[in-house]
Each structure stands twice: as C-alpha cells, then as structure tokens.
A = this chain, B = another copy of it.
Amino acid sequence: MKFVGEHILSVSQFARSDIDRLFAVAEKMIPYANRKKVTRVLEGAILGNMFFEASTRTRVSFGCAWNLLGGEVRETTEIKASSLSKGESFYDTARVLSGYSDIIVMRHGQEGSVGEFAGASRVPVINAGDGANEHPSQALLDLYTIRQEMLGRRKKVDGLRIALIGDLRFGRAVHSLCELLSLYENIQFTLISPKDLSLPEKYLTLIKERGHQIEESEDLHAGIAKSDIIYMTRTQEERFASQDEANKYRGLLRLNQSIYTEFCEPNTVIMHPLPRDSRGEAQELDEDLNENPNLAIFRQTDNGVVVRMALFALILDVAEQIEVSSRDVNWYTERRFN
C-alpha cells in the first residue's frame, strides 16, 4: 500500500508493514493531539466530512484530526438534506462533492455505498462506516490501542491473548479487528458470546488459516482468566428483527470490578468500541470500573484522533512536513486527568 492518494475502504487493504508505517506516523502526532504543539501543515486544505447517517463521535473525531493538521472542514450530517433523496446516484454525488474538497470522509447506512462513491470520486475517500460492512479507522484505532497498551506492559501484539465478548455476530468493529490481528503472529482468541451471536464462519476460517488459536465459550469468568486484553461490545440492537429479540441478550454478559478482581490477571486491559450502554439493564461494562487504570476505553477514543491524523497525513503526503510549520501551544492545556 502506498497510501498517497489512495482510498481507505477496508481493513483488507492493509499489510502488516502498512500498519507499522501508519502507527509510526500516529506516534509522531501525539504532541499535536495532546496540545503541546500546533502544526499548520494542511492550512488551506478542505475535508468533506460527509455523514449521511447519524454519528457525533466519529464525525467530530475525524473533523478534529483534520483541524489539528491545520485544515478546514465542510460537513453534512443527514441524508434527508441531500440530493440522494431526490434520486441522485452515488456516482453523481461523488463527482460533485469531490470537486469541493481535498479528501472525503463518508458514512452511509448502505453496505458498499462508500466503495461505490469512491469509484467516482476525484479525491481520496475514507470509509467511516457503510452499514454492517466496514469502519476501518475504528479497527485501526483499536489495534493501535492494543499495541500501545502492550508496549506499556513490555509486551508485543505478537503472542497476544485477547478475549472478544458480546455480540460477535453483528459487531463490525470486532470483525475488522479480527482481520487486522490475524496479520500478527500467534494470537490466542477467546470468543465469548451467546450461541446465536457467535463470530461468523468467515472470520473463524481466516483466523485459523493464518495459524492463530481460537477457543469459543459461553462462560465469561473462565474466558477472561488468561487474557491480556478484554474487548467487550454492546449488543447491536438495531440489527435484530425486534426489540424483544434484542432484549433476550441484554445484560447477559457483564463485566464489573469484582468479577475483574476475582478472575482476571493483574493489569488485564479492558476495551470497548463505545458507546457502552449504561442503562441499568444493560451495563456490559459496569461504571464501577471507571477508576480502574486498566480501563482503556477513553484512551481508545483519544487514539482515534492520532490514527486519523496519520491516515490524513499519509494519504495527502504531508507526513514528513508536519514539523515544518510546528510551534508550541500558547494557551491553557492542562487536562484534569487522562
């Protein structure tokens, strides 16, 4: 993968060497994301942040990553406001919108829509989620988080023991993460889910073919015992035939501090693609974990910013120019906690 000028549509585009390169650039972005330094490398460039489906966090994360490189953001936030609803094709929309910006980030509820759009776009396109299909930057930030957390514990991603928990059937974040992890060596996957929500055969096959180990289980306590990472997910309720159907799974698999203390090795990392459902009957990750320093869920979203900055910088070929226009931040930036 050369990155420069390329679309980012799927995690399957990435070889391990691409990931190493991306993460090396992401690390260089940390002082900018942490507001120690300012760079203006993309001053004058425009991001088309095209969200044809609701999303605050992903939309703002991409916009913020772009702003931190010095660029401007033009945005849309709903499909009803778009010509797509007057019968316009993705081809036309892409030809038009790609005349307005230097790069496009797009989310749309329809599987394959972003790829179709990218086929007609005159500028690089990043898939920020196309229905049940892919959301590659989420998987990349998850993998980057795993790498950073392991580094902090003097471990590597190779040899990782990870427990994937919850709705493994519908969660696209889990699917893409499995695919990326399979590029590494000797990963031990523990899959914990209700039978009807188990990981699709396609991913099981991929993982096995690439020489990793899989253990499937419905027992949370046994499953999390020997893990470096616990990756918990919420039930993708919007994918079920009915709310009643979805409710059957709500609250079945929960982690809280006392379970963590009793069953996990010390310093086991807890991750979640967020949002976590904090309503009483769900609570897949109990709020009593909030003070646990191994809870990495907010480091994940922070990492999303540097990973997205790195994607932008590589695609637009400015990764080597970041420091040219760099200077120290001149305003208050003392954060309350990390």
Which chain A residues have a beta carbon within 8 Å of chain B's beta carbons? Answer: 4-5, 35, 38-46, 48, 54-57, 59-61, 63-64, 67-68, 70, 72-74, 76-78, 80-83, 86-89, 91-92, 95-102, 121-124, 234, 274-279, 282, 287, 290, 297-298, 301-302, 305, 315-318, 321, 329-338
Q: Are B329 and A278 in contact (CB under 8 A)?
A: no
Q: How far is the CA of A123 from the CA of B333 in the complex (A)?
A: 8
B332 and A4: CB pair below 8 A? Answer: yes
Q: Is A60 a contact partner of B97 (Cβ separation < 8 A)?
A: yes
Whether the Cβ atoms of B54 and A123 lie closer than 8 Å is no
Q: Do A331 and B316 touch (CB < 8 A)?
A: yes
Contact A122 B56 (CB under 8 A): no
Q: Which among A46, A88, A95, A332 has the greatest number of chain B C-beta atoms within 10 A? A: A332
Please name 27 pairs of A and B residues whose Cβ atoms are closer than 8 Å in the assembled complex, sorted by A. Answer: A4-B332, A5-B332, A38-B43, A40-B43, A44-B70, A45-B329, A46-B68, A54-B80, A55-B81, A56-B82, A57-B96, A60-B74, A60-B100, A61-B100, A64-B74, A67-B74, A72-B72, A73-B74, A77-B77, A86-B234, A86-B277, A88-B275, A88-B276, A95-B298, A102-B333, A121-B336, A318-B332
Does A332 contact B305, Cβ atoms closer than 8 Å? no
Q: How far is the CB of A144 from chain B (nearest CB, A)?
A: 14
Contacts of A302 in B (CB 8 A): 99
Q: Nearest CB to that of A37 among chain B residues?
A: B44
Contact (A99, B321) CB under 8 Å given A46-B67, A331-B45 = no
Q: Which of B76, B92, B278, B297 contacts A274 (CB 8 A)?
A: B92
Task: Name the B residues within 8 Å of A92 (CB-CB).
Answer: 274-276, 278, 297
A333 and B290 alpha carbons, distance in the complex (Å): 44
- A193–B322 alpha-carbon span in the complex (Å): 56
Q: Determine the distance from Cα of A137 to Cα of B144 in the docked complex, in whole angstroms.
A: 40
Residues from chain B with a CB closer than 8 A to the CB of A332 are: 4-5, 102, 124, 315-318
Q: Which B residues are in CB contact (< 8 Å) with A87?
A: 275, 277-279, 282
State in angstroms the CA–CA spacing of A35 and B124 once bound together.
Answer: 14
Q: What CA separation (Å) do A5 and B279 show in the bound complex?
A: 31
**CB pair A317 B331 closer than 8 Å:** yes
Q: How far is the CA of A4 from the CA of B35 in the complex (A)?
A: 16
A177 to chain B, nearest CB (A): 19
Cα separation A207 to B100 with both chains bound (whole Å): 34
Given contact pairs A56-B76, A321-B330, a sample of 13 additional A-B residue pairs in the complex whose CB atoms are under 8 Å apart: A5-B334, A41-B331, A45-B331, A56-B81, A57-B97, A59-B76, A73-B74, A78-B81, A87-B282, A88-B274, A96-B274, A99-B301, A122-B338
Q: Give the CA-CA distance A229 to B335 in the complex, in Å.
A: 42
Whether B42 pairs with A331 at a CB distance below 8 angstroms is yes
